[in-house]
Structure 1
Amino acid sequence: MSFDSPQYGEVSAGQPALAGERRAYLTALDAAVVARGGMSCGVVPRAGTPVLHVINAESPRRSVEVGCDFVDGAWRFVWAATGETIGPVDDATGVVDAIARSLGTHAGVIR
């Protein structure tokens, strides 16, 4: 897998998955996670591909990694471990809620 190819989805020649786009979407999600509270996060490389590593601020051992792939003609946030879609990149609030539920966090808790 290269840095600018999808981790799980397929990309046609007419729809390239650019590393800059992936990183931009993950950076925007990073800001949304921080704004919600209860979690800490950062964009880190995994197997040459950037992912968002998110932890529960009160229980740092609880963590998830979120990727961003071009799937079925659209950019989507995915669980990095499985490739399962969390939601489209234009629904950061819904994706952040799903991440918070998976980590058992509460809004407004910032550390």
Structure 2
Amino acid sequence: MHTARFAPVAGTPRPAGPRRRRLERLGEAIEAGTNLRAQVREATRFGPAVLRIVNPTAPDLKEDVGCDLLDERWSLMWSWGDVLGPADDIEGAVTAIERVLTARS
């Protein structure tokens, strides 16, 4: 088992909103169960908070996963707008993200 490395950016405010809580939970699961690194990026004037996920062995492999309320249900979203899956299916999301961000030889 990997040691969790997930940590929010130091010195940033930590609103306890439902979007951020779900992204933090996903980040913790990614770091605990994969070799990927994850960090919540704060909301900006351009959009809501996202989870930045990076493959440290191939830094060009990275993705920003969002979380939106769709049809009264929280869903994880790929950066290109497709639904990754329900926000409560953390295991399924980790598997999909790891598959996308793992370099193949």
TM-score, length of structure 1 as denominator length: 0.72
Equivalent position to 1:35, from 11, 32, 36: 32
State the percentage of identical aligned residues.
37
Question: Unpaired segments of 5 or more residues in structure 1?
Answer: 1-18, 107-111
**Partner in structure 2 of residue 91 of structure 1:** 89
- Helix, strand or coil: the match of 2:91? helix
C-alpha RMSD of matched pairs (Å) = 1.8
Moved segments of 4+, more than 4 Å? none
TM-score, length of structure 2 as denominator length: 0.76
Using the TM superposition, give the Cα deviation of residue 82 of structure 1 relative to its aligned residue in structure 2, in angstroms: 1.8
Higher RCO, 1 or 2 (CA under 8 Å, sep at least 6)?
Answer: 1
Using the TM superposition, give the Cα deviation of residue 105 of structure 1 relative to its aligned residue in structure 2, in angstroms: 5.7
Alignment: residue pair count: 87
- Helix, strand or coil: the match of 2:88? coil
Equivalent position to 2:20, from 16, 20, 23: 23
- Structure 1's 93 and 78: CA in aligned 2 closer, same or farther, altered over 3 A? same
- Mapped to 1, the partners of 2:103 and 2:89 lie a distance apart of 19
Using the TM superposition, give the Cα deviation of residue 91 of structure 1 relative to its aligned residue in structure 2, in angstroms: 0.6
